[in-house]
Amino acid sequence: MEKNIEEILEVLKAKAVVLSEMLKERLAGYSDINNASGDHVLKIDMKADLLFGEALKTLKCVKGYVSEEQPNFVDVNKDASLIVTFDPLDGSSLVDSNLSIGSIFGIYEGGLKGENLVTALYFIYGPRLELVVAKKEAKHYVYVDKEWKFIQDFKMESKGKLNSPGGTQKYWDKKHKELIDSFFARGYRLRYSGGMVADLHQILCKKGGIFSYPATSDAKSGKLRILFEVFPFAFIYEKAGGEASDGKKRLLDIEVPSLHASTPCFFGSKVEMKEVSDVYR
């Protein structure tokens, strides 16, 4: 299995390099622009979906994949055992404003359950192209001189200083607002871009803090999707020494009601996550 996972990683790494170059094209973010010959230019999310999806289809070890941009499970090889889930471009609404965005992947051995997740990774397209991949540890790499260079194993402290509160405040419930306010009252600093990859990556790089995307009155199950965004980051945070919950339960233990289902979610270092569970339980 290890060899097969490596094979998947090599293919994804190569395509992330291609995508990072595509993102530098002048019109990458603009979805409704027609090109010179009058063709509708494919939205960058769809291009990213195609890029990773077609690459996965060439691999014998892949049973199938599910993408945020595809309604259904895509079969690849019936006899294989590994399933890949992905958000080909996370934070795509930030492309126009030139903020950091990412691609998120989960690799499962067996069915699509948290306990079957064997590897999770994300690429971040910022000033540099970087990769974080978690198996036993959460390893951080940077792409320089056409090579992936290892930087560090992420190891979070038990407590941080950053507060990254997602969702529309007007729709937060009272206890959530009080929780977020109480972090600020104790000196936590606001760090929120609206791109989950960049926001969660920053907390890992600074070794602690809290990211939340709660249930709100306008989004009862939150916004972030279990398979494409939440499970991979839950896995990575745990491997980095942090925690991830839906407020009540460990995220990797929650059910997956459907391929595109979302869930409230909290990711952070241990002290902040204890406060989340005290408030939500």
Residues that bind Mn ion (CB under 5 A): 68, 87, 89-90, 229
Q: Which is nearer to ligand AHG, 148 or 172 (CB)?
A: 172
124, 105 in Cβ contact below 8 A?
no
Asked if 130 interacts with ligand AHG (CB under 6 A), we say no
Report helix, strand or coil for 67. Answer: strand
* Least Cβ distance, residue 149 to ligand AHG (angstroms): 26
273, 242 in Cβ contact below 8 A?
yes
Asked if 160 interacts with ligand AHG (CB under 6 A), we say no
Cβ-based burial of 138 (10 A; exposed 0-12, middle 13-18, buried ≥19): buried
Q: Which is nearer to ligand AHG, 12 or 59 (CB)?
A: 12
Contact of residue 69 among ligand AHG, Mn ion, none (CB under 5-8 Å per partner type):
none
Q: What is the largest CA-CA distance in the chain?
A: 59
Length of the chain: 281
Q: Which is nearer to ligand AHG, 80 or 219 (CB)?
A: 219
* Helix, strand, coil % over all residues of the chain, rounded to 5: 35, 30, 40
**HSE-CB of 94 using CA atoms within 13 angstroms:** 19
* Least Cβ distance, residue 154 to Mn ion (angstroms): 20
Asked if 69 interacts with ligand AHG (CB under 6 A), we say no
Asked if 90 interacts with ligand AHG (CB under 6 A), we say yes
Please give the residue whose beta carbon sits closest to ligand AHG in the complex.
196
Cα dist from 69 to 15, 88, 155, whole Å:
17, 8, 32
Asked if 176 interacts with ligand AHG (CB under 6 A), we say no
What spatial distance separates the first Cα and last Cα of the chain, rounded to whole Å? 38
Asked if 194 interacts with ligand AHG (CB under 6 A), we say yes
Q: What 8-state DSSP symbol labels residue 197?
A: H
Q: Which is nearer to ligand AHG, 119 or 212 (CB)?
A: 212
Per-residue HEC secondary structure of 2-38 comes to: HHHHHHHHHHHHHHHHHHHHHCCCCCCCCCCCECCCC
Contact of residue 29 among Mn ion, ligand AHG, none (CB under 5-8 Å per partner type):
none
Among 53, 166, 242, 264, binds ligand AHG (CB under 6 A): 166
Taking CB under 6 A as the binding criterion, the range among 22-30, 110-118, 190-198, 239-247 that sits at the site for ligand AHG is 190-198
Contact of residue 98 among Mn ion, ligand AHG, none (CB under 5-8 Å per partner type):
none
Amino acid code (one letter) for 281: R
192, 97 in Cβ contact below 8 A?
no
Among 196, 203, 226, 276, binds ligand AHG (CB under 6 A): 196
Residue 33 and residue 184: Cα distance in Å, rounded? 42
Among 160, 167, 232, 242, binds ligand AHG (CB under 6 A): 167
Q: Which is nearer to ligand AHG, 5 or 41 (CB)?
A: 41
Asked if 223 interacts with ligand AHG (CB under 6 A), we say yes
Give the closest residue to 210 by CA, choosing from 264, 254, 166: 166
The encoded tokens of residue 140 equal: 């951080």
Taking CB under 6 A as the binding criterion, the range among 54-62, 188-196, 201-209, 272-280 that sits at the site for ligand AHG is 188-196
List contacts with ligand AHG (CB under 6 A): 68, 87, 90-93, 166-167, 194-196, 223
